[in-house]
Amino acid sequence: MSGWPNLFELLVLPEVSTPVGLIGAPLAAGSVTPGRCDLAPSLLRQTLRRIGRYDIETGRELSTRIADRGDVEIEDLTIEQATGPIRDAVQASTAVHSLTLLVGGNNAVTRPGVLGLGMPLEEVGLITLDAHFDMRETDRGLGNGNPVRALIEDGLPGANIAQVGLAAFANSQKMHRDAVEAGNHVITIGEIRLNGIERSIERALNHVAHCEAIVVDCDIDVIDRSQFPAAPGARPGGMSSAEFFRAARQLAAEPRVRVIDLTEWDPPLDTTDLSALTAARWVAECLAGFEMRAS
């Protein structure tokens, strides 16, 4: 639309020098609830045309270009088979970009996103915005319900993990106990209601203050299902979309955050455009936070 700058205009070829990169990881294999999360990266790019660049709250217009590095070729691959290609794509992106946006796909993309930093796991922090612990057992293989446990088994210390937005009646007692025993910092949705989202994110960042680099996992099912119907794991009583946007911006403003992923968006579950617009707004919030780093 003429005279109305939008986010899609900021997408550029991967050869262009810019501090922000975008990778699609259309992974659907291994989902607890089978669906079409693989459709999310393409729809997100299309929907960016409907998201403006001017933030009336701050009086600033987004200007940072985003190098679109395309989708990782993982069609018909298992999670185990897709891990290497996603890891390598993230590693190539983080080598040239200060911030990489990794668009899933299901939550299994988080593990290769962390591994893609190519750093000792003792130096890496993980902050999850998620209704779930993602601590299912791994004895039957990798899935979208166990990337956090898999990373702990890889050697990621619980002292490097903060989990924000855990929902009541959506997790098992064993998962909770295992997370706490590992040293994960747990912040429930009830605590967010009590203390506010900004304070909750501060607590998460404080927990990983010793880490050299941070990966943020934005599992979209942390949002209340009424505000994001296309997340199969979302439930009533979750985080508001406004809280989610504020959290994404606050986290993206942290210079040590190198990768932020968006996972568990299953577009066919929402016959309206609500979920697509919410997911695309996530890009704007991440970019707004990133531009705060230099302000």
The answer to whether position 1 is within a domain reads no
pLDDT of residue 31: 78
Q: What confidence score (pLDDT) does residue 4 get? A: 85
Q: Is residue 194 part of a domain?
A: yes
Q: Is the pLDDT of residue 13 over 90?
A: yes
Q: How many domains does the chain have?
A: 1
Q: What is the pLDDT of residues 62-111, one digit of tens each?
A: 999 999 999 999 999 999 999 999 999 999 999 999 999 999 999 999 99
Percent helix, strand and coil across the chain, each to the nearest 5: 40, 20, 40
Q: Full-prediction pTM beyond 0.85?
A: yes
pLDDT value, residue 190: 97
Q: Is residue 2 part of a domain?
A: no
Q: Is residue 37 part of a domain?
A: yes
Quick one: pLDDT at residue 1? 45
pLDDT tens digits, one per residue of 154-169: 999 999 999 999 999 9
pLDDT confidence bin for 295, thresholds 50/70/90: low
Task: Please report the pLDDT score of residue 34 as a whole number.
Answer: 80
**273 located within any domain:** yes
**pLDDT (average), residues 247-275:** 97
- Give the closest residue to 191 by CA, choosing from 171, 214, 165: 165
Does the residue 38 lie in any domain?
A: yes
196 part of a folded domain: yes
Average pLDDT, the chain: 96
Q: 54-55 and 124-129: which strand pairing? A: unpaired
Any idea what DSSP says for residue 279? H
Q: Characterize the bridge pairing of strands 54-55 and 20-25.
A: unpaired
Residue 173 lies inside a defined structural domain of this protein:
yes
Residue 43 vs residues 32, 154, 266, 275: alpha-carbon distances, Å:
22, 33, 10, 11
Handedness of CA 52, 104, 43, 23 (dihedral sign): positive
User: Residue 258: which domain range?
Assistant: 7-292
The pLDDT value given to residue 29: 82
pLDDT > 90 fraction of the chain, expressed in percent and rounded: 95
Residue 18: the pLDDT is 97
> Which residues face 198 on adjacent strands?
none
CATH number at residue 94: 3.40.800.10
What pLDDT shows up at residue 149? 97
Lowest-pLDDT range of 6-20, 24-38, 134-148, 273-287: 24-38
Chain segment 214-232, per-residue pLDDT in tens: 999 999 999 999 999 999 9
- pLDDT-based confidence at residue 2 (cuts at 50, 70, 90): low
